[in-house]
Structure 1
Amino acid sequence: MQTIELGRTGRQVSAMALGTMQMGGSTDERDSVHILNRYLEIGGSFLDTADCYEWWAHPGILGGQSEELLGRWMRDGNHRDEVFLATKGSAVPIYSPDLWDADGNPNWELARRTFEGAGAGTLRGALEGSLRRLGTDHVDLYYVHVDDRATPLEETLEVLDSFVREGKVRHLGWSNVRTWRLERIRQLCARNGWTLPVAVQQQHSYLRPGAGVESSSIVNAEQLDYLAEHDDQTLVAYSPILKGVYDSAAKRDGHWMMDNYTGPDTDARLAVLAEVAGETGVTPNQLVLAWLLHQGAPRVLPLIGPRTPEQFEAALPALDVKLSEDQLERLA
């Protein structure tokens, strides 16, 4: 496992991060521990979780299962000093019985309207809860999980800065955020001497979002350009293989992840991807991860979120793929 510098902090982190969203939910304890141990075994260290994971899998509960599982794993194996630990706050929905239907299915529309937000008191309570569940006195990276435009940025940035000054957080990040907000955050941090977020976690993959897609969560050309110009912030790419759709045309057909990625160049990019995958002897999913690892302007740190040990193992060949300049130009 190679490492890259997080922003310009001097801190080296694994070039591929491990997302633990489904651990303690869709992924049971045994498989979760197996994946975590294997990740350490291959030299990985960057673990990503959030306080809301995985509320939608447990009717009546608002998350915390992933953090609790990680806390047990770190305690039982004495792993805390071996990992770069990231968690997030602001996205837990306000409790309502209407968050789940009679069959236990989550009401995402309600959850997106009622997330708790990034007010100072809310974030402080969220961080304390995360530290308790994780069984640690600090996290290495703390994200605002969902950009909260109802709370003044000054309030959010000031309390985040206090977390760093108190030693409870080493570095800050922001997720699901528009480019103009990133620039506003930068200006306020410079003006007030507050700690600048060094990680920007967004949905990013090989396919480009289609024309007219307006999502604060998906990287567009403007955001790529902005992050290329500001290399003190690293792009952490979640859902890099779009639920694994690259390996199967049948899976792509009608898959909800493709809703944002249908455009005039989609077929052409998929064709080049298949061609280069054949040349390199890997699957299209693996090639997408390898391509992201090769990006330099901006640097991209893919975040994988395997549900099973088999899915985890399937991602690993990407770490060994070396793409030629010709192949990178064709994939560009």
Structure 2
Amino acid sequence: MTKGAEGGRIPSTKRHAPQKNRPGLVDVTFTTRTREVCRRLGAGLVVLFAVAPRDALAEPPHYAVELSAAPNLPACAREGDFLGLLDTHLDGPLLEPPTSRVLRVHVGRTRRGDYAVDLTLEEADGRKVDAVHKEYPATTCCYEVLHHAALVAAIHMEHGEEAGNEAPSPPPPAAPAPCPAAPPPVLPPSPPARAPAALVPRSDGRRFEVVAGAVIAIGAAPEVVPGPQLGLAWRWGRGSVELDLRYTPPIETRPLGPTVFEVFTASGAIVPCFRPGPFAVCGVVIGGITGARVIDRLYPTQAVTGFVGVGARVGMERELVGPLRVRADLDVAVSLLRSRINASNRPEAWRMLPVTIFPSVSFVASFR
């Protein structure tokens, strides 16, 4: 400062040189900018971690492995070998517990005889995540098939749906045992040879049957009388219709005490049947005649009367050889019209029973 004319002070125009490198002074402007940069970098890192997808930082799910093979491929069901091969192809410990997914691997055969491998990745609740089907030549052994399957499974386990078409697999390590020869391809069975047209029974075809056997008539004559039986049947599926002819030869009987009669019967039956397997349930319509002749008198007399009845039949048959079968039947019929025997001293010597029974045993031959 300088003094003026009136004694006042005039400000000095001399400037002081700046003081540099004085101890105890700090560049305040540089420190403020550094703090601002650090603050912005920290805020940016917080935002980056907040918006980053969690799946990109999470570890792939762990898997439980289930290996199965067709019954004719026991060498392909070695789960221990498959787990060892799979573990060598994985980058992380995806086979260690706790597991949240299941890898199912099945090895089978195609119709051409090649190996078929089906890999399925599922969630714990059974929901399918991914599925892969691979086929390998029949000349490949089971150890090589397990090696290729382990590589494909590892790619899909680590990359999931992004696996796509994997690169060709490297050659497998040396197998512990030489590969067995590939089995021959499974061929469809050849059709059976056609059987001869004659004398061959068929369970579902239409055919004729000839019946021959013996029958016993109970109630159709005064005595229980046996006789032959012949029949002809038409059969289809589980149904049949049969016509039977029966005859009991003359036998002597005494329905009136000392008077001797000679009695015979002849009858026919129409029999529709239902045949479930070896058994038969049928309806029966019977009609015939009963003849009687007095033989102990000076002037023998002879009379013939008819009878009609309806009823049912049950039977069972069994095959013997070829088209030949044996059959047992039991007919029971209610008499609608009954035959009788008359004598001169009595209006009616004998009358047919209200119910007649005809058991029989027959042989049956089938013809197409």
Asked if these proteins are the same fold (TM beyond 0.5), I'd say no
Answer 1 or 2: which has greater strand percent.
2
**Superposition TM-score tier, normalisation by shorter sequence:** under 0.3
Higher relative CO (CA 8 A, sep ≥ 6), structure 1 or 2? 1
TM-score under structure 1 length normalisation = 0.15
Find the structure with the greater CA-based Rg. Answer: 2
TM-score under structure 2 length normalisation = 0.14
